[in-house]
Amino acid sequence: MTWTQDADRLLTDLDREVVRLSGFGQRGTTGERPALLVIDVTEAFCGDRPEPILESVKRFRNSSGEAAWDAVEVIGSLGETARANDVPVVYTRGMSPASGLGPGRWATKNSRVAEDRDSQHRIVEPLAPQDGDVVLDKAKPSGFFGTPLLSLLIDRGIDSLIVCGCTTSGCVRATVVDAFSNNLPVSVVADGCFDRVAVSHTVGLFDMNLKYGNVVDSSEALAMLAGRARD
């Protein structure tokens, strides 16, 4: 079942009519010089191996379980295609406890914050950054907040983003909203994103597609990357 079918099951007849009348959800522009942005695909959110979420979350409080590893396979293909076509690959990851910044407001929203370890902020091995990739550390959900991401994109002449990673309703959505706020066209790869709560994933995709960008599947994203080789 596709994310659109999942979303449709959640909508009431009134919701559908509101969307129809509002004008939201039309296809947006995509840009000519994209970068692939991989959000927080670390052990903290994936665990250290594929396993059911109820097992993985016992050891990694933010884990999305098997859904994460399904997306990891998709993201790997996106990264390979991006590099083959000279499209920049940019990773974000959470700031480690060793940074000294502390958990901030996260400490008020999760009872297991003290379990976090530096090792959990490693990007999972199948997606290990390659030469030329960029890795940015961040302390808050958005990849733009407190990082040099925007200046990096400007410096490299990037005019759009193809976004994947996690969590769909959290850091992915926050990053997409900030990209939209900076007038960057965004494509969100539905099967390259994941969330620990299924309804959050579906509603996150629906909301982003409605207002902030285009939600696409990996086949379309791969075609975009293959057809947008940079000078």
Task: Tell me which residues are annotated as active site.
Answer: 171
DSSP calls for 47-103: -SS---HHHHHHH-TT--THHHHHHHHHHHHHHHHHHHTT--EEEEEEPPGGGS---
DSSP 140: S
DSSP one-letter code for 132: T
Helix (H, G, I), strand (E, B) or coil at 46: helix
Vertex 130, ends 143 and 87: CA angle to 5°?
A: 65
d(Cα 88, Cα 36) in Å, to the nearest integer?
6
> 215: which strand partners?
188
